[in-house]
Each structure stands twice: as C-alpha cells, then as structure tokens.
C-alpha cells in the first residue's frame, strides 16, 4: 500500500470492451454526497431465453481508491448468467469524490452509505430476487464487517469477496512506528491526506490492466485520509482477532484470495475463516493470482468468476 506514486502519463482506454448500452448509469444524492452509480441488468439474450427471469442481484463494494469502471468486466460476466448487479463510487473515491474530496470519508459514513444503497437495492429489485454482497480488498473488509454488525445483514442472501483487507501483507504494511501512532494521528488530523502509492506489480499479472491503472486519474495518486486508512485497518483487526464479534456473522460466505497477493495477506482470509462460526463458508486460494482478481489475466479471472457465479446461483436457489 505505502509506495510513492510516480508521475502519470496520459490515460489509456480500459482494456475490457464492456457493453456500454446495457449499463444504467445514474447519479444519486445522499447525505451530502453526489454518488455515481451503475446498474447492469441481465443481458438481453439471457432475458429472452429465460423470459426475463433474474436469478439474483449483486451489490458490489469496491476497494481503496477504486471506482465503478473497474467492475464492468465482472458485471458483464454476471449479466450473461442471469445475475444483475449494482456498484457505486464510494464516498472518498472515483467520480463521487473527485479532486480534493478524494479519501475524505470515515467509518460512520462508510456504513451509513452502504445501509442506504442496500436499502435502495432491496426496494428496487424484485421481491423474489435474492440480494448478495460482493466486495474486493477494502470493500471485502467492509462487507465482512457488515455481516457481523450491518443493519440489513439478515436480508442478505450471501457475502462473497476477493482479497479482503483483513491484514496487510508485509510487503505493503506500514512500519511499526506508523501503526503504533496511527490512532493518535487519525484523531488529530483525520482529514489530512497522504499519497499511499500503488505497487502496480502487486495488483495484477495482466500488463494491460497495470498500464491502465498507472494512467488512470481516478486511481492515482492513491490518496487516502488518515481517518480512512486508520478505519479500514481497524476493521481488518476485528475480523482477524475478535471472536465474539465474528461470531455474529451468520450469512453464507465465499472468500477468494490470490495466492500471490502482496497487498492483502492471504493469511488474513484464513484467520477470518478459522474464527468464523457460520457453517456455510468457503475459502478458495487461487494459484498464480495477485491482488485484483477482477483485473487479472483471462484464465485467472474466469476461474474466479466461474466460482462466484456457481456459488451465487447455488445459494440463490436455496432461499425460502
């Protein structure tokens, strides 16, 4: 995480050619922020084949300093198998919080915003369609915490995540003195932003996506406020260590983690899995995969996406 960002050249197109016409893009005002959102309905061919039947909806929670565009590939994939999806640029990220607003968020806003969009999706979708949460990295840590204490957790059919932020890999973790002082610093200077940098080689083994990220003005510089960084590190600690807290997690869960992830340590996913008491839980380590499974090479991406699709469809049919 904590690397210096180099100067970035001009942006390049996103490597994945997504179905522009089938994405419903909109802006949504809530609690002082103008959120950029995107919904992907079931693909037209799937609608015709199954007479419009939607098997599930997935609400996606992105990672640190990410944004909606990075999830169009997996949303397209899900749409082709009868699963609709929704994603929003979180407060502090993407087009929701451009420029000097980047990184400005905190624990309270993070979960109030997620409550709001879960409530919105529960009302927007068909009553018969189960709602799942999917999160990556920081977003994975957010939704695992939501499974422990979220307001609407009993209305979520399942929680799936990739590379969740439970503990940072030693390659990316701040020095011990920084971690020791972080509670005081975050309290005194909560809105102070730092460029945490981006280790491109650790994100994905796909050179095209690394090139895109290195030039993406919504991604780099990788600014985060001291409050935001402190909060997501503390979320991870709860997931790794607090057995009483994690015992509240009672939702089916799927965790997928790249074995070569040097941003969020795969050991963190194992730690959460080991203390999570829910019986319906799966942990899959994906060989040769780095951190961002949604941006990985085709074979790795398809392994992840196939597993996600199968797990969602299996649990969608199990709903009463």
CATH code of residue 304? 3.40.50.1820
Q: Is residue 140 part of a domain?
A: yes
Q: Is residue 201 part of a domain?
A: no
Q: Is residue 234 part of a domain?
A: yes
Instruction: Look at residues 112, 110, 104 and name the one whose alpha carbon lies nearest to residue 135.
Output: 110
Residue-number span of the structural domain to which 257 is assigned: 20-168+229-317
pLDDT tens sequence across 110-134: 999 999 999 999 999 999 999 999 9
How far apart CA 116 and CA 301 sit, in angstroms, is 30
Q: Is residue 4 part of a domain?
A: no
Q: How far does the chain reach from its first CA to its final CA, in angstroms?
A: 42
Please report, to the nearest 10 degrees, the dihedral formed by the alpha carbons of residues 313, 317, 318, 320 taken in order: 140
For residue 253, the SS3 value is strand
Residue 2 scores a pLDDT above 50? no
pLDDT of amino acid 195: 83
Angle at 238 between CA 236 and CA 239, to 5 degrees: 65
Q: What angle, 0 to 180 degrees and rounded to 10, lies between the N-to-C axes of helices 107-124 and 138-149?
A: 80
The pair of structure tokens assigned to 83 is 């699963």
Q: How many CB atoms within 10 Å of residue 207?
A: 11
Angle at 190 between CA 186 and CA 191, to 5 degrees: 145
Active-site residue set:
137, 261, 291
The pair of structure tokens assigned to 56 is 């599930």
Q: Is residue 178 part of a domain?
A: no
Q: Is residue 143 part of a domain?
A: yes
pLDDT above 90 covers what percent of the chain?
Answer: 79
| Average pLDDT over the chain, rounded to an integer | 91
Q: How many CA atoms lie within 13 A of 94 on its CB side?
A: 24
Q: For the chain, what is the domain count? A: 1
Q: Is residue 117 part of a domain?
A: yes
Listed in sequence order, the DSSP H helices in the chain are 44-49, 72-79, 107-124, 138-149, 176-188, 200-203, 207-215, 226-241, 243-246, 266-275, 298-317
pLDDT of amino acid 187: 76
Angle at 143 between CA 120 and CA 158, to 5 degrees: 75
How far apart CA 49 and CA 52 sit, in angstroms, is 8
DSSP 280-316: SEEEEEETT--S-GGGS-HHHHHHHHHHHHHHHHHHH
R_g of the chain, CA atoms, integer Å: 18
Task: Return the residue matching tokens 């992105």.
Answer: 62
Residue 137 scores a pLDDT above 70? yes
How far apart CA 277 and CA 243 sit, in angstroms, is 9
1-5, 116-120, 161-165, 192-196: which has the minimum mean pLDDT? 1-5
pLDDT, greater one: 47 or 234: 234
Angle at 231 between CA 230 and CA 236, to 5 degrees: 100
Q: Is residue 188 part of a domain?
A: no
């Amino acid at each position: 995480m904590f690397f210096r960002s180099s100067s970035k050249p001009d942006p390049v197109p996103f490597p994945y050619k997504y179905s522009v016409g089938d994405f419903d893009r909109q802006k949504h005002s809530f609690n002082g922020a103008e959120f950029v959102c995107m919904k992907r309905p079931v693909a037209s061919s799937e609608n015709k084949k199954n007479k419009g039947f939607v098997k599930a909806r997935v609400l996606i929670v992105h990672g640190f300093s990410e944004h909606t565009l990075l999830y169009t590939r997996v949303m397209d994939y899900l749409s082709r198998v009868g699963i609709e999806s929704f994603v929003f640029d979180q407060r502090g990220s993407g087009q929701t919080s451009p420029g000097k607003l980047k990184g400005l968020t905190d624990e309270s806003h993070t979960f109030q915003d997620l409550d709001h969009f879960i409530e919105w999706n529960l009302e927007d979708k068909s009553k018969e369609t189960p709602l799942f949460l999917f999160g990556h990295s920081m977003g994975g840590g957010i939704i695992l915490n939501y499974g422990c204490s979220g307001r609407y957790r009993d209305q979520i059919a399942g929680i799936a995540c990739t590379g969740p932020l439970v503990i940072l890999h030693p390659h990316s973790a701040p020095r011990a003195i920084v971690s020791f002082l972080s509670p005081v610093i975050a309290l005194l200077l909560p809105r102070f932003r730092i460029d945490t940098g981006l280790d491109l080689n650790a994100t994905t083994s796909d050179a095209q996506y690394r090139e895109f990220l290195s030039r993406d003005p919504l991604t780099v510089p990788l600014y985060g406020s001291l409050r935001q960084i402190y909060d997501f590190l503390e979320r991870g600690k709860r997931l790794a260590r607090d057995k009483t807290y994690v015992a509240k997690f009672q939702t089916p869960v799927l965790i997928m983690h790249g074995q070569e992830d040097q941003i969020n340590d795969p050991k963190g996913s194992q730690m959460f899995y080991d203390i999570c008491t829910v019986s319906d839980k799966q942990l899959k380590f994906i060989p040769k995969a780095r951190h961002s499974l949604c941006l990985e090479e085709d074979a790795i991406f398809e392994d992840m996406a196939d597993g996600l699709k199968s797990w969602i469809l299996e649990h969608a049919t199990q709903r009463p």
